[in-house]
């Protein structure tokens, strides 16, 4: 990705007119890439991802600096990682984040294992455990799913912005996101 964006700005892949068009923003959307500002500098690139993966491609044409970052099964926000890299590169203050994990015993985690559904919908979540880590898998797809990070004995998160709360007494899993929450019931 870094070599690609460098070649793009070196005009090895497109003309200057095409590059200028790619940098154009209309109605809040870029035409191939988006500009963003960091530390008073305008960079160009694109970001993407899902709940468990993420990517960030950025280029500073003044310094000819390219940064490419990808991750899978993320437990820390991609934007925070990229910001930290730029802070370090430009000798700005940076504090290494505390990545202290909240430990939940396997016996407690075992109470959350199972399949959770929403009646009358195809929504389905499967919760499994490997050691001291819970995993959640949407739908019927095979596989282990993505790791959840414990923030309390019955609360877990998946960056960016998804919180999972278990209520063993009610047999429920509530998934909270910025756009609302969904309550799943554990199958018996």
| Residues 149-181 pLDDT 10s | 898 999 998 876 789 999 999 999 999 988 889
Residue 27 has pLDDT above 70, yes or no: yes
User: Which segment of 42-56, 60-74, 107-121 scores lowest on mean pLDDT?
Assistant: 42-56
Closest CA to 104 of 70, 129, 68, 86: 129
Q: Averaged over 37-44, what is the pLDDT? A: 90
Ramachandran region of residue 180, left (φ > 0), alpha (ψ -120 to 50) or beta? left
Q: Is 44 exposed, middle or buried (0-12, 13-18, 19+ CB in 10 A)?
A: buried
Report CA 6 to chain centroid distance, whole Å.
25
Q: Averaged over 107-136, what is the pLDDT? A: 93
What whole-number distance in Å separates Cα of residue 44 and Cα of residue 56? Answer: 10
What whole-number distance in Å separates Cα of residue 60 and Cα of residue 73? Answer: 28
Residues with Cβ within 8 Å of residue 164, at least 6 apart in sequence: 136, 148, 155, 156, 157, 158, 173, 174, 175, 176
Closest CA to 51 of 34, 23, 71: 71
Q: So what's the pLDDT on residue 139?
A: 81
Closest CA to 126 of 138, 134, 118, 108: 138
CB contact at 8 A, 129 and 109 = yes
Q: What is the pTM of this model?
A: 0.56
Q: Averaged over 81-101, what is the pLDDT? A: 86
| Cα-trace Rg, the chain | 21
CB contact at 8 A, 162 and 94 = no
> Degrees (nearest 5) of the Cα angle 59, 62, 66?
25
Q: So what's the pLDDT on residue 74?
A: 67
């Amino acid at each position: 990705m870094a070599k690609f964006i460098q070649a793009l700005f070196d005009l090895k892949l497109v003309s200057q007119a095409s590059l200028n068009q790619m940098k154009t923003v209309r109605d809040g959307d870029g035409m191939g890439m988006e500009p963003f500002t960091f530390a008073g500098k305008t960079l160009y690139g694109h970001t993407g991802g899902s709940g468990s993966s993420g990517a960030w491609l950025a280029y500073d044409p003044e310094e000819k600096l390219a940064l490419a970052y990808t991750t899978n099964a993320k437990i820390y926000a991609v934007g925070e990682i990229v910001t930290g890299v730029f802070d370090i590169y430009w000798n700005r203050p940076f504090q290494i984040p505390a990545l202290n994990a909240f430990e939940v015993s396997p016996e407690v985690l075992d109470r959350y294992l199972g399949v959770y559904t929403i009646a009358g919908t195809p929504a389905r979540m499967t919760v499994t455990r490997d050691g001291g880590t819970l995993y959640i898998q949407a739908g019927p797809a095979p596989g282990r799913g993505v790791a959840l990070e414990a923030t309390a004995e019955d609360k877990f998160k998946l960056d960016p912005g998804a919180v999972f709360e278990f209520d063993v007494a009610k047999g429920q899993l509530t998934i909270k996101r910025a756009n609302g929450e969904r309550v799943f019931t554990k199958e018996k």
